[in-house]
Each structure stands twice: as structure tokens, then as C-alpha cells.
Structure 1
Amino acid sequence: MSCCCGDDCQCRPLGFLLGLPFALVALLLSIVGVIIWIVGITLSCLCPCCICVTVIVELALALIKAPFSVMKWFTEQIPC
């Protein structure tokens, strides 16, 4: 049987290769997200009354997950 034999195909090398440059940009954003997350966690520990810091930490977590989201999106767009 081939790698892509049904609707539940997970092997899409073309989508992976096309998504690599965008994933690298998302990786840089992820590094920025880690820095924002560290600063935000520190600020939320120092002043837990600031609710806006929590929103910034949630945004940083979304930036950290960005490379995985980008690669998943690209591989889903390219059919087998």
C-alpha cells in the first residue's frame, strides 16, 4: 500500500516543503513569544492584580505554538 491511500492521509511531503519557509518565520515569532511569556509571567507574579498581563501571556503562548499551527495548516492544504 502507498503512503496516501485514503482520506485520513497524514503524509504530505509537498505541503511540508512548501510550509518550511513560513514555519521558520513562525519559529522566530515563537522565540519572541518565549521572551514575552517570561516577562509576562514575571510581571504577573509581581503584580497579580494586572489582568492585562494575563492576556499578553496568552498571546505569547499562541506565538510559541505558531510553527506547529503553520505546518499543520500547510500540510492540510495540499492534497495527497
Structure 2
Amino acid sequence: MECRPLGFLIGLPFAFISLLLSLVGVIIWLIGSVLSCLCPCCICCAGVANLAVTMVEIPFKVIRWFIDLIPC
């Protein structure tokens, strides 16, 4: 991995926004997990939980994307 501090600094505001989205994803994941445990016939809750896990990974993907865009 190369040193790209400018890409990191430019990506911080977008990473913050995506961090907020990931917090929403954690809440959705918790609700989906509880619902799928209470009623296993609700298979859609598992899909919602998987979507929430993807939302939790967004901040890492955004900051990596910005770091890769900026050349040294």
C-alpha cells in the first residue's frame, strides 16, 4: 500500500457520512437478526440482515476508494 495522505483527507467527509449509514445498518441488522430468531419462517429478515452487513462495510470501502483515486 502506498502513502496517499491527500486521498485519505479528501475521503474523510464521505467516510463520515458512510459511517452514519453503517450505524443505521447495525440497527437494521440487529432488528433483522432478532426477527429471524423469533420467526424462522421470515426468510426476508435474513436478506435484510445481509443488506445491513453490507451497509456496515461501506465506510471501509469508501475510504479505500478515495485513497486509490489520488496518486502520490
Cα deviation for residue 41 of structure 1 reads 0.3
Larger Rg: 1
4+ runs deviating over 2 angstroms: none
Q: How many equivalent pairs are there? A: 72
TM-score, normalization by structure 1:
0.85
**Do structure 1's residue 59 and structure 2's residue 15 form an aligned pair?**
no
TM-score, normalization by structure 2:
0.94
CA distance in 2, matches of 1:34, 1:28: 10
Over the matched positions of the two proteins, sequence identity in percent amounts to: 60
Q: CA RMSD in A?
A: 0.9
**Do structure 1's residue 19 and structure 2's residue 1 form an aligned pair?**
no
Structure 1 segments unaligned to the other structure (5+ residues): 1-8
Q: Which has the higher helix share?
A: 2
Structure 2 segments unaligned to the other structure (5+ residues): none
